[in-house]
Structure 1
């Protein structure tokens, strides 16, 4: 709850804050608050993921582990489209609000929400506890609110230009493509950012056992 309030609250305050403290300092403040709370929550989740009732056990079923890893890898491709503007995230360049209609936005207008849903499905399937299920429901609800909140902020900022983008894109993945409102252009996916995400997924796969052991040493 604290992360959701801080993250969405600071996002809502962006226009007001940028006018008073500047875009770069706002980005640094936003990142520090969001990342600090996220790290705390991730460690807590890792250490308590098997709390509550064990609702199902599928870890011994052949193919489930591979399925979970593939779903997790796909989720990161949706979760981190912001790496396109890595210099802005680090406040090296002046952070800006962008109105995109290319690449993964052709698949879904809110890729982070879709990525979070896929991640939650994969990890809830694998762990199977009531704690993980409730955590996943909370994360998904927060991202669904983010869909509405994000559209409201873009509509207020860009007006008719955003409404035009909204008509040509969809929240539900691939819906605009199926309805013929959008066309997928594969060349738009040939970007260093996607290679970076793929490299990150490989690193995470290698470091996952180390990460589990490290977080277990923190008594939260």
Structure 2
């Protein structure tokens, strides 16, 4: 009989805990996004941005730490790490995922609340490839990490992440439609959720010059930093687990 308390069984509690943490993050992140127009009237755009960022980053750090400490929980479904070519393939997918997750189509000074944060109806850069680059990036990240780790815990995490981002696709379009009306509907008609679909259908064109921006260099630097800091992230997460355990 499988032991519910066993971290290496199909019923490891960590599977449900990570889904709960993902649900908490989803409620906070999308909930605050839905309240943006109301909140900005109450506390201003910068005040809202600070609360949104602090809440999202704090919950994301908890989620990342928990994932790193439990990534091999559950049943090991496959062992692909020793297969030739898998490691560079996984890292290549991870780099591509970050280019979508952090598309640099946003004003970094607004993100940091140095400039007044605003809602923009972007239709340039990576938005030409897909209207929802964060969702695409998350799917690619999940494919890479599920292949590398191969545990049921990682699959459960990826299921929750992709599920939330699919919801965010609907939620994000709904918010933009409410704010911009016909202007968003026109932009929606010229873009696609599926990568490159609008370009393939002739509704959009790829403008490579739009990717030659300092902010994209910042994304490349961030990816390199993640590569370099990866071992430290693992050990740091383990130390947090020891301190809280």
TM-score by length of 2: 0.88
Question: Is residue 104–residue 216 contact of structure 2 (8 Å, CA) maintained in 1?
Answer: no
Residue 206 (structure 1) shift: 1.2
Q: Choose from 85, 92, 101 the match for 1:70.
A: 92
- 1:13–1:82 CA distance, 2 compared to 1 (3 A): farther
> Aligned partners of 2:181 and 2:106: how far apart in 1?
24
Residue 198 of structure 1 aligns to a residue whose secondary structure is helix
Match of 1:26 in 2: 48
Match of 2:13 in 1: none
Match of 2:237 in 1: 215
Over aligned residues, Cα RMSD in angstroms? Answer: 0.9
Can you give the 5+ residue segments of structure 1 that lack an aligned partner in the other structure? none
> Aligned partners of 2:117 and 2:152: how far apart in 1?
39
> Aligned partners of 1:19 and 1:82: how far apart in 2?
27
Question: Is residue 105–residue 122 contact of structure 2 (8 Å, CA) maintained in 1?
Answer: no
**Rg (Cα) greater in structure:** 2
Can you give the 5+ residue segments of structure 2 that lack an aligned partner in the other structure? 1-22
Match of 1:168 in 2: 190
Match of 2:15 in 1: none
> Are 2:177 and 1:138 equivalent residues in the alignment?
no
Question: Is residue 101–residue 138 contact of structure 2 (8 Å, CA) maintained in 1?
Answer: yes
Match of 2:203 in 1: 181
Q: Choose from 220, 225, 242 the match for 1:203.
A: 225
Q: Choose from 7, 21, 41 the match for 2:63.
A: 41
Match of 2:214 in 1: 192
> Aligned partners of 2:88 and 2:96: how far apart in 1?
12
Match of 2:149 in 1: 127
Q: Choose from 15, 36, 45 the match for 2:37.
A: 15
> Aligned partners of 2:217 and 2:189: how far apart in 1?
30
> Aligned partners of 2:31 and 2:197: how far apart in 1?
30
Question: Is residue 81–residue 87 contact of structure 2 (8 Å, CA) maintained in 1?
Answer: yes
Residue 81 (structure 1) shift: 2.2
Match of 2:20 in 1: none
TM-score by length of 1: 0.98
